[in-house]
Amino acid sequence: MRKALAIDVGGTKIYNTIVNEKGEIISEIEKRHTPKTFAEIKQIFKDIIACHEDEVDVIAFATCGAVNNSNNGILGSTGNIASEYPTMDFSALSTKKKVFVENDANAAAWAEHVIGASKGMPYSIMITLGTGVGGGIILGNKLYKGKNGAAGEMHFKMRTDKHRQCTCGSWDCFEAYASGTGLKLTAEEISKNPDITTYDVIDGWKNNDVLMTKIFNQWQNDILEGLIGLANLFDPDVIVLSGSMAEFVDEKYLTDAVNKEIVTTPTKVVKGIAGNYSGMIGAALLALGVDSVGGSNG
Amino acid sequence: MRKALAIDVGGTKIYNTIVNEKGEIISEIEKRHTPKTFAEIKQIFKDIIACHEDEVDVIAFATCGAVNNSNNGILGSTGNIASEYPTMDFSALSTKKKVFVENDANAAAWAEHVIGASKGMPYSIMITLGTGVGGGIILGNKLYKGKNGAAGEMHFKMRTDKHRQCTCGSWDCFEAYASGTGLKLTAEEISKNPDITTYDVIDGWKNNDVLMTKIFNQWQNDILEGLIGLANLFDPDVIVLSGSMAEFVDEKYLTDAVNKEIVTTPTKVVKGIAGNYSGMIGAALLALGVDSVGGSNG
C-alpha cells in the first residue's frame, strides 16, 4: 500500500508521521517546537525528509498559510511563523520524491471528507475551532480553493461597528468570536473580569454556573449565526466542527437552530471525527491522490 | 442560430422574449402583471408558450425561488408569488420543446459570466441589489448550486443582536441592509424620519446633502462589509453588483476597500453590464447550453 510522509507545520509546533492511502497513521508521531528562524525551519524539514523519504512514495505538507492552486507554494501571510516562510520552495526539498503542500485546514477538511464526519457527502464545510478558526470547503467532492488557492477563510463579519479586532487586521470576523480567543474576549466583556480564562468558562459551564453558562451560550450562539450564513451561501450537506473547542458545542442544538433559520435546504452540524492529526492525514490523502469516490482530486 | 423563448417570473411581473445563443434579445419584450392565483399564472405560461414555441429551440424560465439541481422544479418558498407556485411542473408545460428552469439571480449571474462583467473570469459572485438582494455564484466557470440547488442566498448575518428582521424571517441578513429596502431602513434609523424614502436619500446624496450622504455611506459600507466576507470565503476573480440600486455604488472605492481588508488574493468589485433582462438572457444561455469556455454547464 502506498504511503506518504506527512508533515504538519504550525506556528508553534511541527509534527510528522507516515500515513497510508487508507488514511491510517502507521508510524510514531514526532513533534518539534517550530523554530524562530526560516533557516532553522528549512533545516528541520530537510532532517525529517532525509530520515524518512525512503520509507514513502510522496511527501505531504499540511501547513499554516494559504497554498496556491499548484500546491507547491504559499500565498501571503501565515500568522506567527518566520516572515520569510512564504518564500519556501517546497518542491526543492527532495530530489527523490514528489513534494505536495496544502493548507492545514483544507487538509483536515479533506480527511473528514474521505475518512471522517463528512464521508459520503459531496458538499461540506469544515471549521476548526481552536485558538483561531480555520476553514476548508469541499464542493462536489473536490477541495474548493478559489481563483488562487486562498478560499475558505472564515473571516466574514459578525458586526459592522468595529467592536473587536481580528488577528487578520480587520474587525469583527467570525474568527474573533467563534475561536477560543473569541470565547475569552466574550467572557471578559460579559464578566467584566479581564483575567477570566477559557478554562474558567468551560469549567463553570460544566458545573452549571449561571454566569459561565451565559458566556458559553453567547459564544455558541455567535458560532450559530455564522453557520446560518454559510448554510445559505453553500447549501451544504454538512458543516463539520473540529479543533480543540469543538468538543464543547451541542451538535443537535446547532443543527436544529441552523435549520430553523436558513432559506436553503436542511443541513447538519456535526463534530469532526478524523482526530487531532487530521491535517497530516488529509495532506497525505491528497498527496496520494485518494478521494472519497474512487478517483483523484483536481 | 439556435434560440430560446425566455420567460422571467417575478412576484410582481412576468416578462418574456426570445434570446439567441449569442445572448441577444431578438424580439419584443412582453410584460404582464403576475396574477394572484396559481391557475392564472399557469395559464399565462401556457399562453406565452403556445404563442412562441414554434419560433424557438427551447423554453427557458428565470424564476423567483430556488430551483433544484435537475433544473425542472422549485425548492421551498418564493416570496410574494402564489403559495402553490413551488408545485409547478415546468416540464409538463410543453410537449414540443424542452423546458429549462433556473433561479433568476443564478440566471443573471450566468449572463454576466458569458456576455457581461465577469466574462473570462472563472470565479465570480453576482449580487443583485434591488428591493431585495439576490445572488448567483460561478465557480470554475460553472454555476454553483450546492447539494440541492438552493445555494447563493445572500442571507448571512451583519450583526447578531436581532436588530432588523429580514424578509426570510431571520434577523440582520445582508439582504436587510444592502437592499433598497435596507437603505430605507438605514435612512429611517439615522434620520429619525419614518417617511423618508430611498429616492430622498439618493436625491440628497447626489446633491451633497450632509445627512443623506451619511445615510448613503452607511448603506454602501454595509455592502462593503458583506463583500469582504464573500471575498475571504470564495477568493473570487470578481464580485459583480447589478440590479436597480447598483448604479449608485462606487466600484473603485469598494474594490480598494475590500482589498485592504481581505486575507485572500486581490479581487475586483464591478457593476453588471448584462442589463435589466439579464435573467432572461442567462436562462436562455443555460437552456441552450452556452457557456463562456466553448462547452456546456453541468
Q: State pLDDT tens for residues B256-274.
A: 999 999 999 999 999 999 9
**Phi, psi values for residue B66, rounded to 5°:** -75, 140
Asked whether residue A16 carries a pLDDT value surpassing 70, the answer given is yes
Question: Quick check: A156 and B262 CB within 8 A?
Answer: no
Q: In whole angstroms, give the CA distance from residue A241 to residue A151.
A: 18
Asked whether residue B295 carries a pLDDT value surpassing 50, the answer given is no
When pLDDT is cut at 50, 70 and 90, the band that residue B44 belongs to is: very high
pLDDT, residue A76, reads: 76
A157 touches chain B (CB under 8 A): yes
Domains A3-109+276-287 and A121-271 share a fold: yes
Mean of all residue pLDDT scores within chain B: 95
Asked whether residue B294 carries a pLDDT value surpassing 60, the answer given is no
pLDDT, residue A80, reads: 78
pLDDT, residue B297, reads: 47
When pLDDT is cut at 50, 70 and 90, the band that residue A294 belongs to is: low
B70 touches chain A (CB under 8 A): no
Q: In whole angstroms, give the CA distance from residue A106 to residue A99.
A: 17
Q: Residues B231-247: pLDDT tens digits?
A: 999 999 999 999 999 99
A77 touches chain B (CB under 8 A): yes
pLDDT, residue B292, reads: 78
Give residue limits of the domains in chain A: 3-109+276-287, 121-271
B162 touches chain A (CB under 8 A): no
Per DSSP bridges, beta strands A3-9 and A58-63 are parallel
pLDDT, residue A112, reads: 98
**Residue in B with minimal Cα distance to A169:** B261
CA–centroid distance for B36 within its chain: 22
In angstroms, how far apart are the furthest CA atoms of chain B?
59
Q: Residues A127-152: pLDDT tens digits?
A: 999 999 999 999 999 999 999 999 99
Q: Residues B210-230: pLDDT tens digits?
A: 999 999 999 999 999 999 999
Q: In whole angstroms, give the CA distance from residue B233 to residue B101.
A: 28
Q: In whole angstroms, give the CA distance from residue B240 to residue B110.
A: 11
Q: Residues A245-256: pLDDT tens digits?
A: 999 999 999 999
Q: How far is B75 from chain A (nearest CA, A)?
A: 8
Name the β-bridge partners of A9: A14, A63
What's the whole-number mean pLDDT along residues B172-192? 98
Q: Residues A71-107: pLDDT tens digits?
A: 999 997 667 799 999 999 999 998 899 999 999 999 9
B170 touches chain A (CB under 8 A): yes
Query: Three cell numbers at A25?
Result: 497513521
Is CATH 3.40.50.1010 the classification given to domain B119-271? no
B225 touches chain A (CB under 8 A): yes
Q: In whole angstroms, give the CA distance from residue A289 to residue A298.
A: 9
Question: Quick check: A156 and B228 CB within 8 A?
Answer: yes
When pLDDT is cut at 50, 70 and 90, the band that residue B56 belongs to is: very high
Residue A227 or B76, more confident? A227
Question: Quick check: A263 and B155 CB within 8 A?
Answer: yes
In B, which residues are within 8 Å of A155 by CB distance? Answer: 228-229, 232, 262-263
Q: Which CATH code, of 3.30.420.40, 3.20.20.100, 3.40.640.10, 2.40.50.140, is assigned to A3-109+276-287?
A: 3.30.420.40
When pLDDT is cut at 50, 70 and 90, the band that residue B95 belongs to is: confident
In sign, the C-alpha dihedral spanning B224, B226, B230, B233 is positive
CATH topology of domain A121-271: Nucleotidyltransferase; domain 5 (3.30.420)
B237 touches chain A (CB under 8 A): yes
* ipTM of predicted assembly, 2 dp: 0.95
Contact between residue A77 and residue A121 where contact means Cβ atoms under 8 Å apart: no
Q: Residues B7-18: pLDDT tens digits?
A: 999 989 999 999
A75 touches chain B (CB under 8 A): yes
In A, which residues are within 8 Å of B153 by CB distance? Answer: 232-233, 235, 262-264
- pLDDT above 90 coverage of chain B, percent: 93
A190 touches chain B (CB under 8 A): no
Q: How far is B247 from chain A (nearest CA, A)?
A: 23
When pLDDT is cut at 50, 70 and 90, the band that residue B80 belongs to is: confident
Smallest Cβ–Cβ distance between B146 and the set A148, A225, A264 belongs to A264
What residues contact B95, with CB distance under 8 A and at least 6 apart?
none
Query: Which of A44, A10, A3 is CA-nearest to residue A25?
Result: A3
Q: Residues B127-175: pLDDT tens digits?
A: 999 999 999 999 999 999 999 999 999 999 999 999 999 999 999 999 9
Q: Considering only residues 250 to 289 of chain A, which have any Cβ-Cβ distance to chain B shorter than 8 Å? A: 261-265
